[in-house]
Structure 1
Amino acid sequence: MNTHQHSFKTKVSTFVESRMFQYFITAVIILNAISIGLETYAFFKPYQHIFFILDCLFLAIFAVELSLKLSVQKHHFFKNNWNIFDFIIIAGSFILYNTNFVSVLRIFRVLRVLRTITSIPSLRRIVNALFMAIPTISSVLILMMIIFYVYAVIGTMFFSTIAPEYFGNLQLSFLTLFQTFTLESWASGIFRPIFAESAWSWLYFVSFIVITTFIMINLIVGEIVNNAQKISQEIEEETGDLKEDTKEIKELRAEVKELKTLLSTYIKQNETKE
């Protein structure tokens, strides 16, 4: 009985970890995302009952997937943060079904789209790299806030009379600098009218853009890229170790095969002598 259970568990584990099953779950997540998006259009409202049935079907598939993973991995399932993320989304969807918390349920339904990250390894790698970069990004963001504050104070002091709609007070200056930071219509909308009144204002805007948009953002992107490379190297090292182990297993199998051949030859020789 134990052997039969072990064999069944092995088959389930192989099925859950197979590429075909992963591709199927990814396809279901994408279809679920498309159906949620289509529901936002008014001309799909007459077909709401169809979308409700589809949503129930998708949720049932996700529940089966989760159950299979739990049956195979058991307590190890909750040691993986991505598994916990999946569990919260699916469990939350089930708990909130047929309740008055419709708005919260909608949020959980939309969050199911994020399960694409858990099903695609390359996306998980990028997100992991992003989380690894949080300490460095936090330091960069604090530095950016200081720079924003300094430039906001300077802008309010010198440009409040020239352009009160942009630099009338500290709050407006922060909003104006954020628009400048995004490079959205900063030249024609903000800079040129001020430049017509104050010739040195170009130095203020250009220095701010160079420091915040070019230097700071590149620091953040560079840190994320470095972490992504670290994760890739770790995966390559693990893969290399697996390849070495596989090679050693093949060599051991070849040696065992040779030993079997020698033993069978030796036995045959003894039988012939007798």
Structure 2
Amino acid sequence: MDISQTPPSKWRQYAKRIVEHKAFTPIIIAFILFNAVIVGLETYPNLYDGNENVFFTLDRVLLWIFTVEIALRLAGTHPVSSFFKNGWNWFDFVIVLAGHIFVGGHFVTVLRILRVLRVLRAVTVIPSLRRLVDALMRTIPAMGNIMVLMFLVFYIFAVIGTILYADISPEYFGSLQATMITLFQVVTLESWAEEVMRPVLAIDPWAWFYFVAFILVGTFVIFNLFIGVIVNNVEKANEADQDNEEDGADPLIPDTNTKELQQLREEVSELKEMLRSMQHNDKT
């Protein structure tokens, strides 16, 4: 018999009711935010030094709270294997499990980094953040093509800049590597005019053409391609969510009862046919 067709036990149903309670998610979010505050306070030496035991105890308590949360979610999922079909559930499980594994004194730095990563669990709890991250993940294939185009633009302008301005400004254009870093500063529009362009412009009056051309291509074209791809995928994700909401499904939460509902509908339709046939036989 298929395990997914067997009804869940009473304690699994109880765990599911706890997880689906309207106060469960806000409480977990509150603990995640509290964990973020604790991690931030650890960066202040005047607060952390001398209070290591207090911070360690709070971290242990929070870790066990998150462990109980994962256990309840596992217990409330039927069958349990469907819990691991969702990548976000894997992320939660690995983060919490790693907190127990790297608890030794030799992994203090790793453990403190994991405490910071635990804050990312807010993404898995808040549906709107999950949708945004999923939309960003969909942009990765398109981002690859844009990155290649961006590298070509940077490389061409870096070679030209090194040839033209290596003698004028060796600090910024003395080598291909230095020019690439300079162009990255220029494309972010961070202090590029006063520090980079004007010293070169004072010696070469035509240097403005090089910088303006690179800013037009690098900033206003390439960066807008990034923004356009991201916005397009976010809109697609929102449209998909709206379609799934109309169908009564959440694209980010695995629907473990879809097969069961379909089988129940088939059984109900078969029962209706049997009743109709029985009524027809009675009449005849």
Q: Same fold (TM over 0.5)?
A: yes
Alignment deviations for residues 139-176 of structure 1 (CA, whole Å, 9 cap, x no partner): 10111011100000000000011101110111110111
For 2:237, the equivalent position in structure 1 comes to 231
Greater RCO (CA < 8 Å, at least 6 residues apart): 2
For 2:44, the equivalent position in structure 1 comes to 41
Aligned with 2:54 (options 50, 55, 58): 50
| Matched letter for residue 41 of structure 2 | L
- Supply the distance in 2 between the matched residues of 1:107 and 1:9 (Cα, whole angstroms): 34
For 1:138, the equivalent position in structure 2 comes to 144
- Supply the distance in 2 between the matched residues of 1:103 and 1:20 (Cα, whole angstroms): 34
Aligned with 1:104 (options 110, 113, 116): 110
Change (3 A) 1:63 1:199: same
- Match status 1:16 vs 2:19: yes
Alignment deviations for residues 193-245 of structure 1 (CA, whole Å, 9 cap, x no partner): 111111111111111111111211111111111111111111111211239xx
- Supply the distance in 1 between the matched residues of 2:235 and 2:195 (Cα, whole angstroms): 40
Aligned with 1:196 (options 202, 205, 215): 202
1:56-95 equivalences in 2 (<5 Å)? 56-73=60-77, 74-95=80-101
SS in 1 for 2:248: helix
For 1:166, the equivalent position in structure 2 comes to 172
Following superposition, the deviation at residue 104 of structure 1 comes to 1.6
| Matched letter for residue 9 of structure 2 | H
Change (3 A) 1:80 1:146: same
For 2:157, the equivalent position in structure 1 comes to 151
SS in 1 for 2:43: coil
Following superposition, the deviation at residue 18 of structure 1 comes to 2.8
| Matched letter for residue 111 of structure 2 | L
- Supply the distance in 1 between the matched residues of 2:23 and 2:14 (Cα, whole angstroms): 14
Report how many aligned residue pairs link the two structures: 241
- Match status 1:214 vs 2:220: yes
Task: Report if the CA contact (8 A) 2:14-2:76 is conserved.
Answer: no
SS in 2 for 1:184: coil
- Supply the distance in 1 between the matched residues of 2:17 and 2:230 (Cα, whole angstroms): 34
Task: Report if the CA contact (8 A) 2:32-2:121 is conserved.
Answer: yes
Larger of the two Rg values belongs to structure: 1
Following superposition, the deviation at residue 187 of structure 1 comes to 0.3
Could you tell me which runs of 5 or more consecutive residues in structure 2 were left unpaired when the two chains were aligned.
Answer: 1-5, 250-284
Could you tell me which runs of 5 or more consecutive residues in structure 1 were left unpaired when the two chains were aligned.
Answer: 244-274
Following superposition, the deviation at residue 5 of structure 1 comes to 6.0
Following superposition, the deviation at residue 46 of structure 1 comes to 2.3
SS in 1 for 2:9: helix
Following superposition, the deviation at residue 91 of structure 1 comes to 0.6
The alignment's TM-score, normalised by the length of structure 1, stands at 0.84
Moved over 6 A (4+): none
Aligned with 2:31 (options 28, 33, 49): 28
- Supply the distance in 2 between the matched residues of 1:5 and 1:87 (Cα, whole angstroms): 22
For 1:250, the equivalent position in structure 2 comes to none
| Matched letter for residue 14 of structure 2 | K
- Supply the distance in 2 between the matched residues of 1:109 and 1:96 (Cα, whole angstroms): 11
More helix as a share of residues:
1
* Structure 1, 35-44 or 10-19: larger mean CA deviation: 10-19
- Supply the distance in 1 between the matched residues of 2:143 and 2:20 (Cα, whole angstroms): 35
Alignment deviations for residues 111-145 of structure 1 (CA, whole Å, 9 cap, x no partner): 10111111111111111111100010111011101
- Supply the distance in 2 between the matched residues of 1:7 and 1:105 (Cα, whole angstroms): 37
Overall identity of the aligned pairs, in %: 45
* Structure 1, 41-50 or 78-87: larger mean CA deviation: 41-50
- Supply the distance in 2 between the matched residues of 1:19 and 1:208 (Cα, whole angstroms): 53
